[in-house]
Amino acid sequence: MFDFLIQGFGVALTPLNLGLAFLGALLGTLFGALPGIGPINGIAILMPLAYTLGLPAESALILLAGIYTGSEYGGRMSSILLNVPGDAGAVMTTLDGHPLAKKGLAGPALGLSAVSSFIGATVAIIGLTLFAPLLAIVAVKFGPAEFFALMIFAFASMSAMMGKDPLKTLIGAVLGVLISTVGVDSGTGVLRFTFDMPELYDGIDFVVMIIGLFAVSEILLMLEHAFRHDQDGEMAPIGRVMVKMSEVLYCKWAILRSSVIGFVIGVLPGTGASVASAVAYTTEKRISDHDNSFGTGNMRGLAAPEAANNASAAGSFVPMLTLGIPGSGTTAILLGALMLYNINPGPMMFREQPVVVGGLIASLYIGNVMLLLLNLPLAGVFARVLQVPRWLLVPSVAILAFVGVYQLHSDLMAIYLMLVIGVFGYLLRKFGFSLAPVVLGFVLGGLMEENLRRALSISGGDAGILFQSSLSIGLWIAAALVVLVPMFAGKLKAKFLPAAKAS
């Protein structure tokens, strides 16, 4: 691996590849910041262009990988400033990032998220360098039953976000799972909740869901605030624009823990940044939230998901390079880019294509430094978005929402569906529901159903397959502990704490 890395830096440090790494980082940040575009669409747009321009395989991959990692950085901007996630991995960032912005700490929040993203990605890239073949062997052991158990663990971890109203969180998660079932059942061909509308046969697209649920509902809340106060309304004050070293040190263990969690989950094919950030956030909430400040603007609550989703992005390269299995939807497109150049990812790739592998891994180190240097100085500039008057901000967010959905589908039905989901999200927020459980239920519900079906088809309908392997049993036990330990701890605390105070 070190031989590949030395050779890779020789490739990545050429003027052409340095320029492409910077271009990928810049474009990726912009794609990630615009809700509805994200890394998948950005790479899909530029991949044919890179191939048409005749770029070598390693140069094309450096450009596209830069867009991928840059998008993970960029997704935090709209999450923190506008409460609109740039992509699925940034959903958890809204929980503490936007409250920090409303307190006048938009600049420090952007700066801390950039540092957290840098550390998370660096930890994952080092892991990719050192442990790729070993981790690939472990990842292969995850079959459908193990992935189903992992989804159960993710749902159990969601209980950490329940806060004072677990019922509303549970209802939100169930609503998300129900929405994920809309469309044609891939196993039986039965139509589910389509109401005889052909446009719903393919289900509800994630971009339509996320923009409707967050962007449109946020627009409605902005309009309600403007009408209620009969004015443009004062946006959140900017305050200071740079993050302090003391704030970074305050979050250091949260960042390191979440980086490891994100990398390990990223190595597992089919999980992605949304699962990594959710598990990291809920884990950190259990460890650090002693004063119930998570969700109200806690620095650790922002740092944890940001470190995890960037670590997950780098970790998803492990199964792609070593097994030829995409670790996420974005690496599936990168896999297609390699095949355009007649390169077959897999165990032999490190021997047959050392220039490509080494150049890619080295470019991840370089691109990560570029992204930090690009994002830290601009934190104050981006934070100025909060001072845009509502009469300009509301239509701007609306235009981004409509364009983001229409450019993907070119269909008015998608626009109508986005508006319906937006009104639904607005009503949920008015009744005190958090949107994060709804989105996580929507994302994880499809994965959970798909892996459950696969496991049962392998076993001929025997549910015992879900508890056969040691990995599955370990995940089931972990899920049970995540739910039961806080429950019993709360009862013991309620029983013994008054007596201790009295004595």
Bridge partners (DSSP) of residue 191 are 184
- Spatial distance between the Cα atoms of 383 and 6, rounded to a whole number of angstroms: 39
* pLDDT at residue 101 tops 70: yes
Domains of the chain by residue range: 3-491
Q: What element of type H or E holds 252?
A: helix 252-267
The DSSP letter of residue 191 is E
Distance CA 111, CA 119 (A): 12
Q: Is the pTM of this model over 0.75?
A: no
Cα–Cα distance between 204 and 158 in angstroms, integer? 23
Report percent pLDDT > 70 for the chain. 80
Q: What is the mean pLDDT of residues 178-194?
A: 84
* pLDDT range class, residue 100, cuts 50, 70, 90: confident
* pLDDT range class, residue 275, cuts 50, 70, 90: confident
Assess contact for 35 and 407: CB atoms under 8 A.
no
3-class secondary structure per residue, 386-450? HHCCHHHHHHHHHHHHHHHHHHHHCCHHHHHHHHHHHHHHHHHHHCCCCCHHHHHHHHHHHHHHH
Angstrom distance (rounded) from CA 100 to CA 80: 8
Rounded CA separation 55/366 (Å): 19
Confidence check: pLDDT of 229 > 60: no
234 pLDDT band (50/70/90 cuts)?
very low
The size of the chain, in residues, is: 503
Task: Tell me which residue of 9, 1, 4, 3 sits closest to 362, measured CA to CA.
Answer: 9
For 491-501, letters b (16+ CB in 10 Å) and e give eeeeeeeeeee
Please compute, for residue 9, the number of CA atoms within 13 A of its CA located in the half-sphere on the CB side.
8
Q: For residues 56 and 85, which has the higher predicted lDDT (pLDDT)?
A: 56
Residue 297 banded pLDDT, cuts 50, 70, 90: confident
**Can you tell me the distance from the alpha carbon of 212 to that of 219, in angstroms, rounded to the nearest whole number?**
10
The secondary structure element, H or E, covering residue 67 is helix 57-82
Distance CA(184)–CA(201), nearest Å, equals: 5
How crowded is residue 422: how many other Cβ atoms within 10 Å of its Cβ?
22
